[in-house]
Amino acid sequence: MLTGEDQEDQATEDEYIVLSSKRSRYKTIPQLPEELDATTEKPVPMTTVKWQLRSAGLKGCVPVKKPLLCAVNKKKRFLWAKGPPTLDQRFWEKAV
């Protein structure tokens, strides 16, 4: 059974696991305990890290990749947004 001081240490470690996972989203589960082991006296098992991340609602999802905005993509986006005019010129003069 954990004493009061050990419980505080455990809570701090749990918060650290969740925060470090949120800060660097590309870190894997094996990397998180290695980083934590460098700062604590006793090793943290990977199962603890998995359990803590799941209880915080962080599942093993890959972040969505977004398209790079190079010059070609910017031009394509602009042309798509501009599109064919569906409203007459008077409407756009009032809008702008």
DSSP string covering 24-83: STT--TTHHHHHHHTTSSS---HHHHHHHHHHTT--SPPPPP-----HHHHHHHHHHHH-
DSSP character at residue 84? S
- Taking the model in full, what pTM does it have? 0.50
Is residue 45 one of the residues assigned to a domain?
A: yes
At residue 65, the pLDDT reads 78
The answer to whether position 13 is within a domain reads yes
DSSP 88: -
Distance CA 36, CA 54 (A): 18
The proportion of the chain whose per-residue pLDDT surpasses 90, expressed as a percent, equals 2
36-47 pLDDT tens trace: 888 777 888 888
**Residue 39 lies inside a defined structural domain of this protein:** yes
Residue 47 within a domain: yes
Which domain, by its residues, includes 19?
A: 4-55
Q: Is residue 71 part of a domain?
A: no
Q: How many domains does the chain have?
A: 1
Contact status, residue 17 vs residue 28, Cβ threshold 8 Å: no
